[in-house]
Structure 1
């Protein structure tokens, strides 16, 4: 610091202050201090909010991982059920084809037996026609009203009983189509 000495000037005791500079400097320091406190509070609030959001994101990621594992288990079960259903449909289709083949064979046997029976009846009727008078001859295509044909079936087919429809959840409506198919529609 430089000291200037003037011997002719009166000595001044105390401090020299300027009033205009002190009031603006103090206000400026107060404004800067308050703004620093406000910025600190905003930064603390933002950091707390970011920490909470990060915690929630970690929780959601963990749940998504669990959901992915759950989805994988469901897909595996659906694949298992789908495979089982496809196998069951395949077995039913094979069984149906086998039974249809048996029915076709039985019908062919029935036709052969019927043809043989017609030929035997035709031969027997021809020999009877030559012995009987003309007015008592009955054509083979129309049997007499009081006579019944003496054809005995080896094993008459049993009528198939329709089972009662299985009870269905009341959330579904049962619809029978004209071709005999049954469908179910979900009731809203």
Structure 2
């Protein structure tokens, strides 16, 4: 190959390129793209961290809400137990009062049918009880002798035994729960 060279022409260097005016260079474009990608990556990482923290906080709140629901159920069950205990006590007191009123009504009815014999001859002939008050040890044998005489002291009547009142039928709005230790609880049925 033949080369024609003109000594007046400037030589062209292959290593340097001139940038046209108004056109960005490749290095600047690549730098802008890398900076933009780094900024987007930084924003995504920040959003991921906040999202992760928010999810953890949400899990903690959900766990506490579940515990709160269980706590509410336990409190409700205890309140029902206490309410049932009070109700059973009130029902027992009511049945005791009804039994006492019935006993009084029966006693009044018997008194109306059989009036007491206040002015009978047997009541007048009975000896009055002897009351001896002693303060010395010497008079103690005399008191013991007076106590031995059946006519000297009138013994009070022993109280009559009451027949236990029949238990009222169970309320269908409550469930009866008997535990192994013998305690009985009632829970309201919703």
TM-score class, shorter-chain normalisation, is 0.3 to 0.5
Which structure has more relative contact order (CA 8 Å, sep 6+)? It is 2
Normalising by structure 1, what TM-score?
A: 0.48
TM-score, normalising length: structure 2: 0.47
Name whichever structure is richer in helix by fraction. Answer: 1
